[in-house]
Amino acid sequence: MVDVGPGAGALVIYTDETWRGREIEISPRGDDRKRTHTEVLRRRVAGGFVDAAVFGSLAEGEYSLWHDDAPGPTPVRIVGGQVTELDWR
* Tens digit of each residue's pLDDT (9 = 90 or more) over 17-38: 999 999 999 999 999 899 999 9
Tell me what pLDDT residue 29 has.
95
**Pairing, β 41-45 against β 48-59:** antiparallel
Read off the pLDDT of residues 36-83 as tens digits, 9 standing for 90 and up.
999 999 999 998 999 999 999 999 999 999 998 888 899 999 999 999
Task: Say which residues have a Cβ less than 8 Å from residue 49's Cβ, sequence separation at least 6.
Answer: 42, 43
Structural domain of 72:
8-87
Q: State the CATH number of the domain containing residue 24.
A: 2.60.40.1120
Domain contains 46: yes
Examine residue 16 and state whether it is found in any structural domain, yes or no: yes
Predicted confidence at residue 76, as pLDDT, reads 98
Residue 80 lies in a domain: yes
**Between the CA of residue 53 and those of 6, 20, 37, 83, what are the distances in Å?**
22, 9, 9, 13
**Is 2 part of any domain?**
no
Please give the model's pTM, rounded to 2 decimal places. Answer: 0.93
Computed over its alpha carbons, how large is the radius of gyration of the chain? 13
Looking at the structure of the chain, the number of domains it has is 1
| CB contact at 8 A, 14 and 86 | yes
